[in-house]
Amino acid sequence: MSTSLSKGQNSPLTVHDVVVAVQIDAAADLSALLVTDAGKVRSDADFVFYNQPTGPGVRLQPTSSGRPSGLAVSLDQVPADVAQIRVVITLDDARATFGRIAAPSVFVTDASGIRLHEYRIDGLTTESIVIAVEFYRRQGSWKVRAVGQGYAGGFAALVTDHGVTVDDPPPPARPATPVPSCPPPLPATAGHPPPPRATPPVAAGEVRLSKNRPVSLAKGQRVTLRKDGGVALTFIRMGLGWDPIRRGGLFGRRAIEIDLDAWVAMFADRNLVDVAYYGQLVSKDGSIRHQGDNLTGEGEGDDEVILVDLTRVPAHVTTLLFIVTSYQGHTFEKVVNAFCRLVDNTTDTELARYSLTGGMRCTAMAMAKVFRGDGDWQLQALGEGFDAKHPGEAVPLLGRFVTRG
């Protein structure tokens, strides 16, 4: 007979091999964090999820569709310095929330499937991710605790709080039918022949931003965020736009609805600090404000707008990465007129623009980054493609854009 747990309640485990399964009325992913007494992972290898399905003593049990049916834990194989194993449920649709579905239930069984414990996670509202249960050591034995701690900030808040970084190489691709992949990242100058000698390559600081002559940036080009007269910009607006390709049909030309999402990842050196995206429109420090989601790309001008108050960005934050991901998995081959532009939000003047030409077989794009350099904020056009459909998939792959000069 199984034991029904309530939030915060714990119970001893009498077996060393257990399986966690979830009953939920929505597509969801299981993952696990193996943490020390300090509540942090020892390295990114202690984060077990669909791109990294095994860890020390922990493994996902996938179904034929590639989705996990359970999380198997061999407690006697867990390293001695791991104090807790936190089991996480993440809604596959980051726009969904637990408050809109029936309360999920978690079941802990032994290796043969006999149910030991169950926990119905009540009280969730706006969260899309929750720590369901945790296994922890107590006086040489293991116990299970019903946690039910939700994260309204989603994946970014979870990995930040538990010390997962993007310093390590990205994990292998998810074992499913792959989205057409991008070409491997190239060095900054590879594949881009230098312009004629009469027009030497532009280095950071050589271009001045002017309201009379907006700068048209090339891939990799940098500008210092100072206007004519050397006045530093303080409040900027990053506008991102795109149009779906229109195809002919019996009833005329129709647009393919393509849901691109613009968002910003904030880094302190190479460590993720926060993310402003459709699931968390305002960064925790208030310096970045996402103005809302556009689901189709229809309409003129900016499809999504992100406001950045550079005076409020904390001193330890060194890089802001502006990313666009394709939520439904459409590649950039199906997108035209993709661009990002920098606007002085104080005067509503466009200062710089980077247009993405030539669709790539990718589902994500690092469009630009704003970073601290030589005592000033600088903007660099990136235009680098990779494969990810939402911030949760993209964050572990962003390290190379942060470190690239």
Q: Answer whether 0.75 is exceeded by the pTM.
A: no
Residue 317 CA to residue 271 CA, distance in Å, equals 9
Looking at the structure, tell me whether residues 273 and 338 fall in a common domain: yes
% of residues, the chain, pLDDT over 70: 76
Q: What is the mean pLDDT of residues 115-136?
A: 92
Q: Is residue 317 part of a domain?
A: yes
Q: What is the pLDDT of residues 271-301, one digit of tens each?
A: 999 999 888 899 999 999 998 754 333 334 6
Looking at the structure, tell me whether residues 33 and 121 fall in a common domain: yes
Looking at the structure, tell me whether residues 277 and 147 fall in a common domain: no
The CATH number assigned to the domain holding 25 equals 2.60.60.30
**Which residues touch 14 (CB under 8 Å, ≥6 apart)?**
116
Q: Which amino acid, 405?
A: G
% of residues, the chain, pLDDT over 90: 32
Q: Is residue 301 part of a domain?
A: yes
Give pLDDT, residue 187. Answer: 37
Q: Is residue 180 part of a domain?
A: no
Strand partners, 107: 21, 118
Domain span at residue 26 reads 3-161
Q: Which of the two residues, 198 and 59, has the higher pLDDT score?
A: 59
What is the tally of structural domains in the chain?
2
Q: What is the mean pLDDT of residues 22-45?
A: 89
Residue that is last in its domain, among 161, 181, 198? 161
- Cα dihedral 89, 33, 272, 147, rounded to 10, equals 50
Q: Is residue 196 part of a domain?
A: no
pLDDT at 6 over 90: yes
Q: Where are the beta strands (DSSP E) in 139-259?
A: 141-151, 215-216, 222-224, 235-244, 246-247, 254-255
Q: What is the mean pLDDT of residues 243-268?
A: 63
- Quick one: tokens of 190? 């590879």
Looking at the structure, tell me whether residues 221 and 87 fall in a common domain: no
Looking at the structure, tell me whether residues 268 and 125 fall in a common domain: no
* Confidence bin at 368 (pLDDT 50/70/90): confident
Looking at the structure, tell me whether residues 157 and 41 fall in a common domain: yes
